[in-house]
Amino acid sequence: MSRARASGRLPRPAAPWSRGPGRRPTTLPPGPSLAWELWNFRSLFPLAGGDDLLRVKLEQDAILAREREALARLWSGDKDLLSPGRDFLAARPQLATGITVSLHTGPYQLLAEPWLQAGLEPLLLLNRAALPRFRSAADPLSRHLGHHGRLRWAAVGEPGFMRAVMTAARDGRPVLAYLDGNSGDDGAAGTREHGLRYLLPGREILVRTGLARLACRLGCPLHRVALRWDEGRVAWDDAPSLHPRLGDDAEALTRELFDWAFDVIMQWPAQWQYWAMLRDSSACFTAAHLDEGRPDLAVVEATHSTFIASCQRAPDSVRLVLDHEVEVWSDEVLADLTVDRFHPAEGLADDDLAILRHGHPTLAELRDHHGEAWLRFHGLRLCLLGIAHLGA
């Protein structure tokens, strides 16, 4: 049984390499570039500091170097890299049917190889954006390895997708899927607006229920498998198979799957290659959370009047002073890191803020740098949001 609970609430862990819960997080190293990554990292490790994140990034670099070396050996004819997976499947004949659920950990691209070597025809589920890139790498490698089986593909949301999956499952052919892809036919934005709420140690995200609903509808087993690098070799880990039946609670099954997934990821954080999944599915970025609401009308009118008057009468002496640490993430989120609040970017770019981060420009200097329209919209908005103020 996973140490994670099926309720969707994971144990609140200490940061990696810390001496235990309660350790005070260290500050982030200078520069804004890692702020988003640390915020993302704290979804799973709320007490983590910048040094913890940098340790994981260094470990990721070391893993990448070993991965390149191992894959080069594979293309040169050394197939020792594939033996663990083939032995893994041979010892688990039940994986020849049903849905095998995996993650973007370690050499996740090698997931289908044991099934192909065994002469099977696995159906691999991917989102539409990932399929061309994945297929262009997998098909040549499969031909190079002389597989007897054939890898079939299904792009989520494409016409005939559901029919292909149901046909494969009912015919007893293996179906392979990456749970942490977490996007349906309407992509990450659809997940963020309509997904199932799931509580991580440091943040709430939204997750897709489609895979669980499909398994319940078909009454087919779900096999949980994760790959990782272990000093240049591939390690295959699994958890007991789940056996949903028609009428089972798909939301409860979804939580159980993600409990397992994050249990694996938290154990091997440097092995996970899809940290963007947390960012893309964060509940605080839903439309409702990014809605700024209705601020006090009198305050808005007073701030607006003062700002416009300053632009007209004293642009060479009045300055716009940035009060908070703020960044624009993914061209869509204005992140106020000082108070951990998020707003729609409304067209503001992170580079636009450089002039404010490195000094206190006058309104005239901002107008010369960004233009009158930018000043009157974004400059005013920063003041209305409490992120900046007008000063001498």
The pLDDT tens digits for 338-370 are 888 889 899 999 999 999 998 899 999 999 999
Q: Is residue 15 part of a domain?
A: no
Domain boundary among 283, 311, 337: 283
Nearest to 127 by CA among 276, 260, 264, 231: 276
Task: Answer yes or no: is 140 within a domain.
Answer: yes
In a domain, 277, yes or no: yes
Nearest to 348 by CA among 317, 318, 370, 320: 370
Q: Do both 181 and 319 map to the same domain?
A: no
The verdict on 244 and 320 lying in the same domain is: no
Give me the pLDDT at residue 121, please.
Answer: 92
* Residues 98, 127: Cα–Cα separation, whole Å: 20
277 with 301, same domain? no
Percent of the chain with pLDDT over 90: 58
**Cα–Cα dist 126/4, whole Å:** 26
Q: What is the pLDDT of residues 16-48, one digit of tens each?
A: 433 333 333 444 444 445 888 999 999 999 999
The verdict on residue 208 lying in a domain is: yes
> Are 190 and 281 contacting, i.e. CB atoms less than 8 angstroms apart?
no
Question: Among 283, 310, 343, which residue terminates a domain?
Answer: 283
Q: Quick one: 215 and 130 in the same domain?
A: yes
On whether both 240 and 330 belong to a single domain, the answer is no
Co-location of 91 and 135 in the same domain: yes
Q: Is residue 301 part of a domain?
A: yes
Segments of the chain scoring below 50 in pLDDT: 1-32
- Measured CA to CA, the distance from residue 251 to residue 234 in angstroms comes to 32
Same domain for 244 and 338, yes or no, is no
The number of folded domains in the chain is: 2
Closest residue by Cα to residue 100 from 72, 121, 74, 122: 122
Same-domain check for residues 110 and 140 = yes
267 within 8 A of 190, measured Cβ to Cβ: no
Q: Which amino acid is at 264?
A: V
Integer angstrom CA distances of residue 85 from 108, 220, 234: 11, 23, 8
Domain with 110, as residue range(s), is 32-283
Compute how many other C-beta atoms are within 10 angstroms of the C-beta atom of residue 42: 21
Q: Does 192 lie in the same domain as 77?
A: yes
Cα 370 → chain centroid: 33
Residue 21 lies in a domain: no
Residues 190 and 217 in one domain: yes
In the chain, alpha helices (H): 35-41, 50-75, 83-90, 113-117, 131-145, 161-170, 187-194, 210-218, 250-267, 276-281, 287-290, 297-313, 354-357, 363-370, 372-374, 380-384
